[in-house]
Structure 1
Amino acid sequence: MFSAIGDIAGQPTRAERRTYQPVRRNSRAVGRETGFWRPVTRKEVEAVILAAEKLELATKRAGRGKGHRNGALGAVAIEILRLFQNVVDFRTGRLDPSIDYLMDRLQRSRGAIVAALKALRDHGFLDWLRRYVPTGGQGARGPQVQQTSNAYRLTLPQRARVMLGRYFQPAPVPDDHSHRQEQQAAEIEAHRAGLTELERTMLDVDPDDGVGAALIRMAQARAARKERESSTQTESLI
């Protein structure tokens, strides 16, 4: 998920680029997002949102008293990230809502949405790919196409990843769980102490494995030898 846009593969073909239609530069045909979208987990998306919120809060505090109501990202940017969390396809990473969709869902102006998207990209939390679709018409210079919604991808800047270092570490094991594990280990050792060498060997090794089978045979031989020695000692006492 968190990779550079330079890794994107599948550039438009020469024929696709030379349609001479009024689409934005570096746009790609819909369906050619190969390498841009990748599967993403809910935790990864939550990490992006959390880091963005921390940056917004820190920069907002730094700007207090200087006439700044927002931080580096702004409230609308945080709203967009939270909405993206609800519409992204975690299995494929697909994320391509239109500006009109964002305006309708968030009840924000086009200018506010565009500015927030730009702030997210400028600070490393978002990347996008411009796209176009064919209209079905045929012009004098080739197939007619039109601009469509961007393909978006959430990213996590390295400085934000460092800031959220603990977020990516396994949660500490609760004390009661550790105590329960210690009790179970003690019970297992107590049970093993009551077993013979042969029984412990058969419990510890795989009899289908060559080494395991050899260890079992050795333990069986020692057990048989001890049994013979015990029988001899018993006979001598009679």
Structure 2
Amino acid sequence: MAEAALAVLGGARFKRKPSRSGATHRTGAPVRRDSIEAGTFEDAFFSRPSKGETDRIYKRAAALSAGRANLRARIAHEEREPTPREAAILRFSRNTLAVLEALLRIARVQAGRVYPTLEYLAETVGIGRRTVIRALALLTELGFVLAQRRFKRVEIDGVGPRYKQTSNAYRMLMPAWIEAHLPRWLRPAPLPADVVQQEAERIEQTAAMLSSLSRREYALATVDGQLGKVLARLGAAIDAKESECQPGLQPLLDSYIISSERLGLAGQGVHA
């Protein structure tokens, strides 16, 4: 659900109506593309990090940065050009790692609500504003950071309200591809074969159980909260409508004849 909510947020747009007269738009400075109004989406966007999550993200990012020399040597040994992802990893400098560390520190302190200004990050890390922008762009490209532009309303006297850009919202993630580029000691140990088999059997049994449920029962079993209740009511209505149709029943005359025969046989058995 969380991923679905993020997909909806990513598709949101803020469009300003152009002035018919051709004059400067009354809202003043333009809002950057893909911006969402501050205070309208953060509850769905931010996520409180689990215990040790920020440390794990930083440790893997640090190992990725430290392994750039080995990656460069391997590419040279194979006499090939780096892939786009490898080229991005080769640009993963200490400044980029420091910016990620600052974001992770805010996430720990602020329970995942991360929206610092570029100036704050530049001052905290001790680098220039443009370097911060490049670092954030690279972290987003590699999948460590999900960024969302924001704007806010500014009330003024006279014609208004106006809108202005404000700080971005950030959420830190663990890229799924990163394990292949980490040292062996940082990769998770493979699961035993019996555990993998048990998990496969559990998934198969769960799928078989779910396929036997009615629509109402399926909704209650797979969706939590208010949405699950709404879907359950909808499923119950569909189930009731289908049961009223009763497709595939015997013709009434055949059903009567079969029932009569069964009653006759039962009566003979009693007399016998």
Answer whether TM exceeds 0.5 for this pair.
yes
- Mapping of residues 3-42 of structure 1, within 5 Å: 3=3, 5-6=6-7, 8=9, 11=12, 21-32=29-40, 33-42=42-51
1:160 aligns with 2:182: no
Asked whether the equivalents of residues 8 and 34 of structure 1 are also in contact (C-alpha less than 8 Å), the reply is: no
Instruction: Give the superposition deviation at 1:136.
Output: 1.4
Q: Which runs of no fewer than 5 residues in structure 1 stay unpaired?
A: 170-238
Which of residues 163, 172, 189 is equivalent to 1:145?
163
Q: How many percent identity over aligned positions?
A: 25
- The DSSP-based 3-state class of the residue aligned with 1:152 is strand
1:50 aligns with 2:59: yes
Separation in structure 2 between the aligned mates of residue 35 and residue 128 of structure 1, nearest angstrom: 13
- Mapping of residues 74-89 of structure 1, within 5 Å: 74-89=93-108
Equivalent in the alignment of 1:63: 72
Q: Which runs of no fewer than 5 residues in structure 2 stay unpaired?
A: 18-26, 77-86, 192-272
- The DSSP-based 3-state class of the residue aligned with 2:45 is coil
Separation in structure 2 between the aligned mates of residue 123 and residue 39 of structure 1, nearest angstrom: 21
Which structure has the bigger radius of gyration? 1
- What root-mean-square deviation, in Å, do the aligned CA atoms of Structure 1 and Structure 2 show? 3.6
Separation in structure 2 between the aligned mates of residue 128 and residue 122 of structure 1, nearest angstrom: 10
Equivalent in the alignment of 1:230: none
Instruction: Give the superposition deviation at 1:63.
Output: 3.0
Separation in structure 1 between the aligned mates of residue 120 and residue 106 of structure 2, nearest angstrom: 11
CA gap of 1:160–1:26, structure 2 versus 1, over 3 A, is: same
TM-score by length of 2: 0.51
CA offset digits 1:26-70 (Å, max 9, x no partner) = 11111122311011124111121122112222223333698x9x9
Task: Please tell me the residue identity of whatever aligns with 2:188.
Answer: R
Which of residues 133, 149, 152 is equivalent to 1:133?
152
Separation in structure 2 between the aligned mates of residue 157 and residue 90 of structure 1, nearest angstrom: 22
Asked whether the equivalents of residues 138 and 144 of structure 1 are also in contact (C-alpha less than 8 Å), the reply is: no
Higher relative contact order (CA 8 A, sep 6+): 1
Equivalent in the alignment of 2:233: none
Q: Which structure dedicates a bigger proportion of its chain to helix?
A: 2
Q: Between 24-33 and 154-163, report the one with greater CA deviation.
A: 154-163
Task: Please tell me the residue identity of whatever aligns with 1:39.
Answer: R
Task: Please tell me the residue identity of whatever aligns with 1:52.
Answer: A
Separation in structure 2 between the aligned mates of residue 131 and residue 94 of structure 1, nearest angstrom: 14
Task: Report how many residues are paired.
Answer: 164
CA gap of 1:91–1:144, structure 2 versus 1, over 3 A, is: closer
Task: Please tell me the residue identity of whatever aligns with 1:102.
Answer: L
- The ranges of structure 1 where at least 4 consecutive aligned residues each deviate by more than 6 angstroms after the TM superposition are none
CA offset digits 1:97-146 (Å, max 9, x no partner) = 11000111111011111111111111111110101122212675x52111
Asked whether the equivalents of residues 93 and 153 of structure 1 are also in contact (C-alpha less than 8 Å), the reply is: yes
Separation in structure 2 between the aligned mates of residue 13 and residue 110 of structure 1, nearest angstrom: 26
